[in-house]
Amino acid sequence: MISVSNGLFHLRTEHTSYLMRTTDTGHLVHLSYGAAIHDTTGWELLEEKGAVLSTVPYWDEEHEHLYPGNMLQEYPTPDRGDARPPAIAVEYGSGSLTLDLKVIGSRVMKGKDLSFPAHALPYDSTETLEIELSDRLLPIMVTLRYTVYPECDVILRSARIANGTGNPVIIREAASLSLDIPSDGWKLHSFDGAWARERHENVRPLLPGTVVIDSRLGCSGNEHNPLIYLENERGEVYGFNLIYSGNHRETVSVSPFGRTRVTQGINPFLFSWKLMPGESFETPEAIMTYSGDGIESAAQSFHSFIRTSIVRGFWKDRERPVLINNWEATYFDFTEERLLELADEAAALGIELFVLDDGWFGHRRDDRRGLGDWWPQPERLPDGLEGLSEKIRSRGLLFGIWVEPEMISIDSDLYRQHPDWVIAQPGRDPLPCRHQFVLDLSRTEVREYLFRCLSEVFEKGSVSYVKWDMNRTITDTFSSDSSVRLQGEVQHRYILGLYDLMGRLAEAFPGILFEGCASGGNRYDLGMLCFMPQIWTSDNTDVHDRVGIEEGTLRGYPQSTMGAHVSASPGHQSMRVSRIDSRFAVAAFGVLGYELDLTKLDDEDKEAIKRQICFYKKYRKILQQGRFSSLHVSRNQRFWYSSLGSTAIAVEIQTLNEVHTGRCDRLVYPDAYESKRYRVTAVRESIPGLGMSEEFSVCASGTILRKYGIALAPQFTGNGVSAETRVLGDFGSRMYIIEEEKDEGACIR
């Protein structure tokens, strides 16, 4: 709901209110963002009263107590008295950046603008407020957009900058959102890492000064995800994320006067955009949410927003197939015969989709060659893609394939033919990475080539699934494309080109399930999720490491977006040994796959996998689409829950294998309704060598389950377990099915 009256703008979602107003100087200032206000009487009391600050510039002689540097600004401009990070910087004339934006109009509309290629979809209840601002001196116009998603408490923001002057101007910075919070004392949660340790949650107190979270890798990156939260001691939380896959920047600054400002948008690093007279520039969209009830509830708002407005197409709400991927089973060492052996095992275990990973095309025998040459190798696939796909499908499996379209190997026919298609500075050798360069996706002919090759692959292979990889970052930024006016445009144009290509392919092949990947999770963002419903979370499938990676990822993104595989033990990344049931328990909270040599498993593991797949298929809707929450019981103990309707699946995770502590944990289910009764069934594989199997089925009232928790037998992973399984990082994992007990008499003894 949006209301505009007497210069007051009020954006309402079910549980939040966002208030702004136009000052009598014509500036747009922020009033508050917090719990829903049903009656705005007295909103004037929220206004800043001004103060006496010597050495700080004030608005004008009539407003000598109003200081831009201490006010809550809605879209702050540089060089007009506010020394905090600005939202916008436009260079005009001979290098001026000074802007003074005033409100010139506003309008409310149903639905929303869809002009940026990666955009959120509107709901029926979606409304947008557009506020038009213009510089006082020059016709440089900014349209701020606020789209309200009432049901999931999300507000979407973006800005359009238009050049109404008679000369070109250069956009140096254009944030998608800026939010001024009137207080300090916040903690910042960011999601950081590197290859194989993506999105670990870090929390730091915010002190005066500016913290920058960003990516300069040419993609959203595994170093710092665009997802951030601010949290205070009262459990108030602000969450932010960006619908963009390129370089992003979040600044969080605490002013000397106790204000906190957040900006988010395209990273100004390597960015500048020349805007000719009459042209305009659209920023990507950003989302924000507020919760008075902790991060978990803010994350759930983001989850429901992503499930409904970001993910789209045929697979949006559909249950995703369980897959087998041959990468860690064979790496580059495979023949068609070997693949079919794997497919036979997979089909027998109940797997639904076979994914042929890297190594099937060009002269690719290793990672030194072949990218760009998208035709099958006759030595490996004697009957081509058609033949292999046929054979796989005749075994009752869907066929999926790996591609890395954005890249070109130095040793490839494509590079020999088109050395000019790579991103490279003239006269300077670009830095190689995994023996490959980046194709210049801002060029139409490059995108045309890829569209043609990939369409042929997808058609010939009757492909149902595509793993779209991207295994290096962008360096040596330069494009020789004639549409590029400044080299500072190239990284953004690359992302626009990528969206164009993915959009065309998604439209041409609406039934294909696309999974994004970038050396694991180097590009896990909302922009990619507009085109690909799921993303490979991390190359690291070690059971212990995955707990942190998945928990960090789930802070911002729902389970249905998160590819999660059971791989071999010892794990190929950590060399840590773990039990197959532990590996499954963690993978089950995402989109399940197997990535190991099934032909080498013993019968015990095969039986375990069969049972896992049966269990997963039965509860797949809950595990993929349910409401996720986690409960940390102690340093070493946590529960994950995924609930949908009247059923939840829970897992108890002990991250370190502590020697028989005798601890007796309690299973608490925070979502239980006190007026209801629940049946709790424990399922656990037996521990090899110990012959122990624990299973129980008990009934408990919602109050017992929610407030007290049911006592569990101590996790017992020490005595009697073979030395091999007692490796640090392996953990006991019990899974629980918690169902509302419909049978009135069932709990009464």
Is residue 589 within 8 A of residue 640, CB to CB? The reply is: yes
Write the burial class of residue 42 (CB in 10 Å: 0-12 exposed, 13-18 middle, 19+ buried): exposed
**Both structure tokens of 127:** 């409304």
Q: What is the DSSP-derived secondary structure letter of residue 33? A: E
Of residues 352, 539, 652, 685, which one binds ligand GLA by CB under 6 A? 539
Residue 106 phi, psi dihedral angles, 5° rounding:
-155, 160
Q: List residues bridging with 8 in a β-sheet.
A: 5, 21
Residue 217 phi, psi dihedral angles, 5° rounding:
-95, -5
DSSP 589-646: TSEEEEES-GGG--HHHHHHHHHHHHHHHHHHHHHHHSEEEEEEEETTEEEEEEEETT
Q: How far from each other are the two terminal CA atoms of the chain, in whole angstroms? A: 51
With respect to ligand GLA, which residue has the nearer C-beta, 440 or 469?
469
| Least distance to ligand GLA, CB of residue 402, Å | 6
Contacts of 95 (CB under 8 A, 6+ apart): none
Pick out residues in 431-490 that bind ligand GLA (CB under 6 A): 469, 471
With respect to ligand GLA, which residue has the nearer C-beta, 40 or 330?
330
| Least distance to ligand GLA, CB of residue 359, Å | 8
Residue, CB closest to ligand GLA: 358
| Least distance to ligand GLA, CB of residue 520, Å | 5
Q: List residues bridging with 112 in a β-sheet.
A: none
The contact mask relative to ligand GLA for 159-198 (x = CB under 6 A, - = no) is ----------------------------------------
**Cα R_g (the chain), whole angstroms:** 27
Which residue stretch of 292-300, 506-514, 517-525, 682-690 sits at the interface with ligand GLA (rule: CB under 6 A)? 517-525
Which residue stretch of 117-125, 205-213, 516-524, 575-583 sits at the interface with ligand GLA (rule: CB under 6 A)? 516-524
**Both structure tokens of 593:** 């796959």
The contact mask relative to ligand GLA for 349-388 (x = CB under 6 A, - = no) is --------xx--------x---------------------
Please calculate the CA angle 429-528-214 and round it to the nearest 5 degrees.
Answer: 60
Residue 562: name the closest of 44, 199, 224, 228 by CA: 199
With respect to ligand GLA, which residue has the nearer C-beta, 523 or 544?
523
Size of the site for ligand GLA (CB under 6 A): 12
| Least distance to ligand GLA, CB of residue 407, Å | 10
Of residues 517, 591, 623, 667, which one binds ligand GLA by CB under 6 A? 517
- The whole-angstrom separation of Cα 325 and Cα 568 is 12
| 539 has catalytic annotation | yes
Torsion of CA 33, 38, 42, 47, to 10 degrees: 10
Pick out residues in 393-412 that bind ligand GLA (CB under 6 A): 402
Catalytic residue among 82, 373, 411, 539: 539
With respect to ligand GLA, which residue has the nearer C-beta, 556 or 563?
563
| Least distance to ligand GLA, CB of residue 371, Å | 10
Which residue stretch of 204-212, 515-523, 629-637, 721-729 sits at the interface with ligand GLA (rule: CB under 6 A)? 515-523
| Least distance to ligand GLA, CB of residue 111, Å | 37
Q: Which helix (H) or strand (E) holds 736?
A: strand 733-740
With respect to ligand GLA, which residue has the nearer C-beta, 472 or 734?
472
A 10 A CB-CB count for 139 gives: 12
| Least distance to ligand GLA, CB of residue 539, Å | 5
Q: List residues bridging with 294 in a β-sheet.
A: none
DSSP 62-111: GGTT--GGGS-BSS--TTSS--SPPSEEEEBTTTB----EEEEEEEEEES
Q: How many residues does the chain have?
A: 749
Q: What is the DSSP-derived secondary structure letter of residue 319? A: P
With respect to ligand GLA, which residue has the nearer C-beta, 18 or 327?
327
The contact mask relative to ligand GLA for 320-339 (x = CB under 6 A, - = no) is -------x------------
Of residues 520, 558, 571, 709, which one binds ligand GLA by CB under 6 A? 520
With respect to ligand GLA, which residue has the nearer C-beta, 514 or 619?
514
| Least distance to ligand GLA, CB of residue 401, Å | 11
The contact mask relative to ligand GLA for 545-574 (x = CB under 6 A, - = no) is ------------------------------
| Least distance to ligand GLA, CB of residue 574, Å | 16
Is residue 187 within 8 A of residue 204, CB to CB? The reply is: yes
| 469 has catalytic annotation | yes
Alpha-carbon torsion 295, 297, 298, 303, what sign? positive
With respect to ligand GLA, which residue has the nearer C-beta, 135 or 357?
357
With respect to ligand GLA, which residue has the nearer C-beta, 327 or 449?
327
Of residues 519, 569, 582, 642, which one binds ligand GLA by CB under 6 A? 519
With respect to ligand GLA, which residue has the nearer C-beta, 402 or 616?
402
| Least distance to ligand GLA, CB of residue 328, Å | 8
Torsion of CA 499, 504, 507, 509, to 10 degrees: -110
- The whole-angstrom separation of Cα 359 and Cα 362 is 8
Which residue stretch of 117-125, 157-165, 443-451, 513-521 sits at the interface with ligand GLA (rule: CB under 6 A)? 513-521
| Least distance to ligand GLA, CB of residue 564, Å | 13
Q: Which helix (H) or strand (E) holds 177?
A: strand 169-181
With respect to ligand GLA, which residue has the nearer C-beta, 253 or 541?
541
Catalytic residue among 180, 469, 542, 730: 469
Is residue 423 within 8 A of residue 494, CB to CB? The reply is: yes
DSSP 260-297: EEEEEEE-STT--EEE-TT-EEEPPPEEEEEESS-HHH
Is residue 523 within 8 A of residue 219, CB to CB? The reply is: yes
Residue 494 interacting with ligand GLA (CB under 6 A): no
**Which of the residues are catalytic?**
469, 539
Residues binding ligand GLA (CB under 6 A): 327, 357-358, 367, 402, 469, 471, 517, 519-520, 536, 539
